[in-house]
Structure 1
Amino acid sequence: MDNIIITGTEGFVGTLLTHFIQQKYPASRLSLRDRDWCRHLPQKGKAIIHLAGKAHDTSNTSSPEDYFKVNRDLTIALFDQFLKSEIHDFFYFSSVKAVADTVESQLIEDVIGVPITPYGQSKLQAEQYLQAQPLPAGKRLFIIRPCMIHGPGNKGNLNLLYQIVKKGLPWPLASFHNQRSFLGIDNLNYLIEKILSNLNVPSGIYNFADDDPLSTNELVTIIAHSLHKTPRLVHVSPRLIQSIVRIGDYIPLPLNSERLKKLTESYVVSNDKVKKALGIDRLPVTAREGLHKTIASFNSISSSVFL
């Protein structure tokens, strides 16, 4: 009965979370790419952790229908099977982008969702369906909204920053002042395990984020120091940068308007609700410690190429 069923185990989050869970519980992988996945879904177990989904495509090449088929429709189908089963808990990994593409001050769970992208809209519609269904006695539903997750094997904007600093290139966006929340994989694993093991945590929506936000300039500095380099922070007019990156919206360049927004906007996420539910004051790994660990894994991968 303690079996944990996990979807989306091939991504970097799924790989690391599955490895962590397997050290504490029997765990099985469920591929929703298999048309017969319903037949392979166990009818008894402790929890389903639903990670599978279509990630936000910053190159804007995916069709809106792709997001809704995967993020909404597959989630609904899986949840309906969960309701019929004897599995106790359902964890749906949504996203902070399900409710807010931008944040003015600090994002909390009870904000009214107004996503503007198909990615965020598909995640929110899945959330709304799950919340609208009556939960049978003994079952719990956790809608997890993580901010930007990082850890060994992470790709994307963090890796882009790493490559820029590693090559000794200047960081030209230092004039953009922001504060941004991150989520290290160690803290994500910790929170999931704590919820699984604490039957007093009520169903609900929970933001997942490290305790302290960091600026992108601080992040560049952390990467530079991990590479034993001096950070090269260059202050270019934000208006000039915004004019240049618009070219990347039409031709494939490393930087476009969407990526500029991700790298320079402020996006602070509160994790107070989940900490209160678990009765903890601080997460075990600070934002800086987690990022140092992730960057160290990039260094290791780079070094192994030459072995």
Structure 2
Amino acid sequence: MDIEHAPLRVLVTGATGFVGSALVRALENQPGYLPISVVRSKVKSPVANTQTFCIPDISSSTEWEGCLKGVAVIVHAAARVHVMKEVVADALSEFRRVNVEGTVNLARQAAQAGVKRFVFISSIKVNGEETEPGRPFTADDIPTPSDPYGISKKEAEEALLALSGETGMEVVIIRPTLIYGPSVKANFRKMMTWLKKGVPLPFGAINNRRSLVSLENLVSLILVCVTHHNAAGQIFLVSDGVDLSTTELLNRTAEALGVKSRLVPVPEQMLIFFAVALGRRALSQRLCKSLQVDISKTQTLLGWNSPVSVQDALNRTAKDFLEYR
């Protein structure tokens, strides 16, 4: 694929999201790239000089023609994301409407418009929810998703690879682990809030191993996948390259926040028992079970290594939290 000549027009969906906004900023600062933002509502562009299109809904009927003129690469970061408390009756159908049907519709129109490469931001949930310690997921494992979000991402991946074979448009799939970084929300932000307040937490004796990826490291890999010839047709797992236990993560984050962690060494099995009794099985799984990924394929095929260390990434995340909480 000859897409190495500047300027590359790179369309980013989900451009005001956690990953998309960081990617647009990175592309804007990279010589030879012309990022184009797709957002859900008429808000200020994530980068002042970026051309922006408003697409309120992504589905099988969304019209993309106006966005695709001259675009060489699409990074599809928009999705219906995993939610803790589902409010729709048929969650899988809704995930499929956006994440499968909407994605395939965009990709098919992209191929017809002459887009050369489609980079799909998927999820490690395609692989599954947990691993045995020391037996990480690999990019070539048979997928075993267990929730509607993971299932929809798996089906989207399969449809994109089939479409690539049909049309010749190159597809690259990236499955991130838990993403953290400046402006992180959800459970990671709650964790920092608890630590900063000095709340005693019963997580002082958890010996699991979890792979995480900082936002900067994920964006670094996406940028590589935009142009690298070895990326075409491949699935890549991504992490910081260092696996931490929940206890280690809390201690390191507390250090980054400049506070002393107050972790109580409650046995894992007791934590799991009480979490299940309270209807929080999924939360106990994330806190106590392992989820490791093997990124050797990513490193070997692309020559990529995470540019930011775990502690530096945690320091930057904590600094942002302290400034804007």
Alignment TM-score > 0.5, same fold: yes
Contact 1:30 / 1:37 at 8 angstroms: preserved in 2? Answer: no
Contact 1:157 / 1:263 at 8 angstroms: preserved in 2? Answer: no
Residue 36 (structure 2) pairs with residue 4 (structure 1): no
Query: C-alpha separation between the residues in 2 aligned to 1:152 and 1:248?
Result: 31
- For residue 187 of structure 1, what is the aligned residue in structure 2? 217
Contact 1:83 / 1:135 at 8 angstroms: preserved in 2? Answer: no
Residue 248 (structure 2) pairs with residue 218 (structure 1): yes
- For residue 45 of structure 1, what is the aligned residue in structure 2? 71
- For residue 120 of structure 2, what is the aligned residue in structure 1? 92
Query: C-alpha separation between the residues in 1 aligned to 2:63 and 2:24?
Result: 18
Query: C-alpha separation between the residues in 1 aligned to 2:214 and 2:298?
Result: 16
1:246-284 deviation line (CA, Å, top 9, x unaligned): 3543xxxxxx2212212222111111111112224x321
Residue 277 (structure 2) pairs with residue 277 (structure 1): no
1:233-257 deviation line (CA, Å, top 9, x unaligned): 21123343233323543xxxxxx22
Residue 37 (structure 2) pairs with residue 29 (structure 1): yes
Unaligned runs of 5+ in 2: 1-6, 40-54
TM-score normalised according to structure 2 size? 0.84
Q: CA deviation at 1:136?
A: 4.2
Query: C-alpha separation between the residues in 1 aligned to 2:71 and 2:86?
Result: 38
Please tell me the residue identity of whatever aligns with 1:51.
Answer: A
| Pair 127,244 (structure 1): closer, same or farther in 2 beyond 3 Å | same
Residue 178 (structure 2) pairs with residue 154 (structure 1): no
- For residue 78 of structure 1, what is the aligned residue in structure 2? 106
Q: Which 4+ stretches in 1 moved above 6 angstroms?
A: none
Contact 1:2 / 1:45 at 8 angstroms: preserved in 2? Answer: yes
Please tell me the residue identity of whatever aligns with 2:323.
Answer: S
Query: C-alpha separation between the residues in 1 aligned to 2:156 and 2:272?
Result: 34
Q: CA deviation at 1:201?
A: 3.5
Please tell me the residue identity of whatever aligns with 1:30.
Answer: V
Please tell me the residue identity of whatever aligns with 1:116.
Answer: S
Query: C-alpha separation between the residues in 1 aligned to 2:230 and 2:205?
Result: 46
Contact 2:116 / 2:170 at 8 angstroms: preserved in 1? Answer: yes
Please tell me the residue identity of whatever aligns with 1:59.
Answer: K
Query: C-alpha separation between the residues in 2 aligned to 1:200 and 1:244?
Result: 47
1:38-96 deviation line (CA, Å, top 9, x unaligned): 23221322200000111111224442222111111111111111221211110011111
- For residue 266 of structure 1, what is the aligned residue in structure 2? 290
Contact 1:180 / 1:213 at 8 angstroms: preserved in 2? Answer: yes
- For residue 82 of structure 2, what is the aligned residue in structure 1? 56
Q: CA deviation at 1:13?
A: 1.3
- For residue 252 of structure 1, what is the aligned residue in structure 2? none
Q: CA deviation at 1:225?
A: 1.4
Contact 1:210 / 1:271 at 8 angstroms: preserved in 2? Answer: no
Residue 318 (structure 2) pairs with residue 289 (structure 1): no
Query: C-alpha separation between the residues in 2 aligned to 1:61 and 1:212?
Result: 35
Specify the SS of the correspondent of 1:92.
strand
Contact 1:6 / 1:29 at 8 angstroms: preserved in 2? Answer: yes
Q: CA deviation at 1:299?
A: 1.3
| Pair 92,56 (structure 1): closer, same or farther in 2 beyond 3 Å | same
Query: C-alpha separation between the residues in 2 aligned to 1:160 and 1:248?
Result: 19
Specify the SS of the correspondent of 2:210.
coil
Residue 146 (structure 2) pairs with residue 116 (structure 1): yes
- For residue 18 of structure 1, what is the aligned residue in structure 2? 24
Sequence identity percentage: 28
Unaligned runs of 5+ in 1: 250-255, 303-307
Query: C-alpha separation between the residues in 2 aligned to 1:288 and 1:81?
Result: 42
- For residue 244 of structure 1, what is the aligned residue in structure 2? 274
Residue 227 (structure 2) pairs with residue 203 (structure 1): no
Contact 1:5 / 1:27 at 8 angstroms: preserved in 2? Answer: yes
Please provide the CA RMSD for this pair: 1.9
| Pair 44,135 (structure 1): closer, same or farther in 2 beyond 3 Å | farther
